[in-house]
Amino acid sequence: MDWRDRLDELESSTNPFATVVMTHLKVVETKRNVDRRKAWKFALTRALYEKSYQRQEILDLYRFIDWVMILPEAVEREFWQELQVFEEERKVTYVTNAERFGFERGIQEGLQHERSLILRLLSRRVGILSSEVRSQVESLPLEQLESLGEALLDFSSAADLDEWLRTLGA
């Protein structure tokens, strides 16, 4: 966090750790703003190509960026499309379609794990969940699922969960 006010220095550095630090700073800064996070994820990824890193360095740093700068599924797809256009314009494809497919599959598996964890925590917090409530929770997009994960800490009954889900429809 000491580097917050030194972004220019980090951006101009060719030290790979500067990218790691900037990524962390931008994760913190964009915690509640998906559009800004996507823009920063793209900017950080684009910078990898522009800093004359070797292919493997780009892939390793990109994997880190992708791991910590999580985006909702639809926004992640937009990001991939923009990255593909960028790579085509530059005539480079460091992230192959197979890797993209693997990343997408990993994102889906991570989302399923998160849904499963939230459902287990809810069951433990408020008791057995009806199939209707389970279905509602399972259909939540990532952003709402994350909000539910935070909100459930304050629940003391199934009524709290029902009220929280009702506010989504409002």
In the chain, what is the straight-line distance between the N-terminal and C-terminal CA atoms, in Å? 38
Residue 168 pLDDT greater than 60, yes or no: yes
Distant-in-sequence, close-in-space partners of 49: CB < 8 Å, separation ≥ 6: 58, 86, 90, 92, 94
| pLDDT above 80: residue 127 | yes
- Residue 164 CA from chain centroid, whole number: 23
Which pLDDT value is given to residue 100? Answer: 62
Q: How confident is the model at residue 128 (pLDDT cuts 50, 70, 90)?
A: very high
Q: What is the pLDDT of residues 77-126, one digit of tens each?
A: 888 888 888 877 776 655 655 566 666 777 778 788 889 999 999 999 99
Mean pLDDT of 9-21: 84
Residue type, 161: L
Give the global pTM.
0.52
Helices (H), the chain: 7-12, 16-29, 34-50, 55-68, 73-90, 97-126, 131-138, 142-151, 158-169
pLDDT score recorded for residue 15: 84
The answer to whether the beta carbons of residues 75 and 34 sit under 8 Å apart is yes
- What letter represents residue 147's amino acid? S
Q: What is the mean pLDDT of the chain?
A: 84
- Please report the sign of the dihedral spanned by the C-alpha atoms of residue 147, residue 100, residue 26, residue 4: positive
pLDDT at 167 over 60: yes
DSSP class of 13: -
Give me the mean pLDDT over the 54-78 stretch. Answer: 85
CA dist 98 and 169 (Å) reads 38
Distant-in-sequence, close-in-space partners of 126: CB < 8 Å, separation ≥ 6: 152, 155, 156, 157, 158, 160, 161
Higher pLDDT, 69 or 6: 69
- Asked if 129 and 123 touch (Cβ cutoff 8 Å), the reply is yes
